[in-house]
Structure 1
Amino acid sequence: MKIACNDGSCVICTASVTQIKIPKEMRLEFEKADFLEDLISAEPADQKDLCLRLWKAALKGYDAKWHEDYKKAKKKKKAELSKDDKAMIKKIEKNISLFERIFDYNTWFLNKANSPHYDAYVLAANLGRSSCTYCNRLYTSTMKTIAGKKVMRPTFDHWFPKYRYPMLGLSFYNLIPSCTICNSSIKGFKEFDTATHIHPYVDADVLERYRFSYDYLEDLKNFRVKIKSDVADTRIMKTYKDLKIDICFDAHHAELADLIRVREAYSQDYIRNMFNSYPGANLSFDEIYRLAFGISYEPKDFYKLPLSKFKNDIVSELLLLSFTTELKK
């Protein structure tokens, strides 16, 4: 919160310390044991409760409905705003501004000055996410020059929207490494919630709960990618509908067509022999699979190569899942 820690060697405090005046009720929340630590590292469901406590401490009589009213008012044209609308906007935005000053995402986490503290580049490097967490279509590697100059990193999507949860600006669970298309062009300000959407850090088994498939549209002479789930998993379907995942993957007809051609050109016996032709190379099944299809086989490694989930599902469908299981034995 930019409050001095009294450590004379602290690179943050010695650089710049700004005292921020906050309401007494909010300060009492911050002083409770583990409150700030939980706000940074607790799971999303718990963070929501902490954020609600801060809003109630900041605004007397606060009700969660206020944010719904605020969102509706922000969509109106200036001439359409009532006196109550203007008061609502002013009240909410005043406190959003306060929370943004306390949890200073722009100067702390973005770290444009490249000062030596924990920032977006450090987090991205530690996570090691090589492809977009949401779509697994594009590379999101983190790279610096030998001299340490920043070159590229993934963008970080705020899973809970910033206008309602500005106090989660530095929360690990609320910062999802993603590509610019998913973060800005598609998700944008859409509201995600653990009750209606899957969270990539909480729903660890999500890759096993759905799969990619396709249809061939005879009248259009073209493919259509689709997402399937063996159970009625509404959270998965809503998440990927909101992220437009099936539409995005329709851009990968070339990769789909290549896999189909491989299946049409080579029999299962040929593919089986190909997998059995490296006995002296000491290659693991995953390494041979990667050589054959250019993707990772294990779900835990899908993030390392773009399109791994998509291609693996299509390969399993084309070859039959039982056959790919046989190959691994």
Structure 2
Amino acid sequence: MDKIYLNEEVISKHYSYCLGNDKNKKKCCYFDLENEKKTYLTSNPLIYRLLANIQDNFEDIIKGKPQHLVLIYNKFLDLFNEITQELSAEEKEETRTKINEVLKNVFIGSYERFSSRLPGKSNLWGAYNFCANLNTNICPYCNSQFIITYIGKNGKTRPTIDHFFSKERFPLFAVSIFNLIPSCKICNSDFKGTEEMNLNEHIHPYIESFNELAIFKRKLSENSGIIDYYSVLVGKGEDFDIIVEDRMGSTVEQKNKVKNTKKVFNTEEIYHYHKKYVQELIIKSIIYTEAYKQNLLYSYERLFANEEQIIQLLMPKDINNHILSKITIDILEEEFLKKKNIFE
């Protein structure tokens, strides 16, 4: 739920793979694109011109940030409309179908090779190496599922890869690195599926941080009848719901993104099943009084250099590598650290 950062080394390796510089010359995206372009040189000049344009923008397509990908797509549409304006409606649709078919063959075909490619002894670039180099072991969409990458003698696993811009609708971006988002199966396949997302209405993990735009809170249940407020307050009662709210100062656009993103991934509904965890958090925070923290510092001075390290036991800062850390930080900060402890 925090922003994911792609370093230049990862971007460079991915681009090199797509160019065919990674022991992959005849099975790479650029090679396939070049072959398709040659095929249409004389048979279909319109398709040839479109593919030539894609080739000219190949580096930006592979390495471009999400906002730039939108610009590339819009310019490509403008070019398509320009060169097909004199065609009949039927001919224009045939050209559209054909270019879409070619893009799927080139870019989705390349992604399928990328997604199944194992590093091997030569440490080859592919989905496994890509995911392993991101320093993100928790799903950025939900923060409630591990997405580790592991290859061993008896098995292997890696995160699923979500295409923020659907590869079926936007095959041109099937291997664009900023369109490849490591995620858990639940978020990617079970919830998002074929749902269309866009930069104006949803949070993109490479651009924005759900953590910075939204906050988890507890809200007393409205349909619980008589509520034992004290039990809820001290973490004993379950008469509360876990909700996601916008942070103070959010713009209308940011609020809309939070609303739409949590709807796609059923965030509030899923976190309903973490109520027990929240109750345990609250009890722990009550136990960790100032006196108790000072006692820990005194008793375990070799383990803790300062009080901040003790707080880290409850509230880890690295959200992308600690499961449920987002709700942990939000609940503890909102209900206890920003308020006077009523038990002291």
State the TM-score, normalizing by the size of structure 1: 0.74
Name the SS of the counterpart of 1:156 in structure 2.
strand
Distance 1:267 1:5 in 2: 55
Distance of aligned partners of 1:289 and 1:274 in 2 relative to their CA distance in 1, 3 Å threshold: farther
Distance 1:312 1:113 in 2: 37
Identify the residue that residue 185 of structure 2 maps to in structure 1. 180
- Amino acid aligned to 1:253: K
State the TM-score, normalizing by the size of structure 2: 0.71
* Unaligned segments of structure 1, at least 5 residues: 64-83, 325-329
CA contact (8 A) 1:55 1:62 kept: no
Q: 1:238: Cα distance to partner?
A: 2.0
Distance of aligned partners of 1:285 and 1:170 in 2 relative to their CA distance in 1, 3 Å threshold: farther
Identify the residue that residue 5 of structure 2 maps to in structure 1. none
1:29 maps onto 2:53 in alignment: yes
Identify the residue that residue 11 of structure 1 maps to in structure 2. 23
Identify the residue that residue 249 of structure 2 maps to in structure 1. 231
CA contact (8 A) 2:297 2:304 kept: no
Q: 1:268: Cα distance to partner?
A: 3.2
CA contact (8 A) 2:293 2:307 kept: no
Equivalences for residues 1-329 of structure 1 within 5 A: 11-13=23-25, 19-20=35-36, 21-22=39-40, 23-32=47-56, 35-57=57-79, 93-103=97-107, 104-111=109-116, 117-145=124-152, 151-204=156-209, 206-217=210-221, 218-219=224-225, 222-229=239-246, 230-232=248-250, 233-234=254-255, 235-264=257-286, 266=287, 268-273=289-294, 276-277=297-298, 278-283=300-305, 287-291=309-313, 293=314, 295-296=315-316, 298=317, 301-321=318-338
Distance 2:275 2:84 in 1: 50
Distance 2:311 2:324 in 1: 14
Distance of aligned partners of 1:138 and 1:26 in 2 relative to their CA distance in 1, 3 Å threshold: same
- Amino acid aligned to 1:273: Q
Q: 1:275: Cα distance to partner?
A: 5.6
Distance 1:201 1:5 in 2: 23
Distance of aligned partners of 1:182 and 1:271 in 2 relative to their CA distance in 1, 3 Å threshold: farther
Deviations 1:85-107 (A, max 9, x none): x9998765543331121112444
Name the SS of the counterpart of 1:110 in structure 2.
helix
Q: 1:253: Cα distance to partner?
A: 1.2
Name the SS of the counterpart of 1:199 in structure 2.
coil
Name the SS of the counterpart of 1:215 in structure 2.
strand
Name the SS of the counterpart of 2:131 in structure 1.
helix
Q: 1:112: Cα distance to partner?
A: 5.2
Name the SS of the counterpart of 1:162 in structure 2.
coil
CA contact (8 A) 1:128 1:141 kept: no
Q: What RMSD in Å do the two structures reach over aligned CA positions? A: 3.5
Name the SS of the counterpart of 2:240 in structure 1.
strand
Question: Which structure would you say has the larger RCO, counting Cα contacts within 8 Å and 6 or more residues apart?
Answer: 2
CA contact (8 A) 1:130 1:304 kept: yes
CA contact (8 A) 1:268 1:319 kept: no
Identify the residue that residue 8 of structure 2 maps to in structure 1. none
Distance of aligned partners of 1:111 and 1:237 in 2 relative to their CA distance in 1, 3 Å threshold: same
* Unaligned segments of structure 2, at least 5 residues: 1-14, 41-46, 228-237
Percent identity between the two aligned chains: 22
The aligned length equals: 288
Q: 1:270: Cα distance to partner?
A: 4.2
Identify the residue that residue 43 of structure 2 maps to in structure 1. none
Q: 1:231: Cα distance to partner?
A: 3.1
Q: 1:45: Cα distance to partner?
A: 1.4
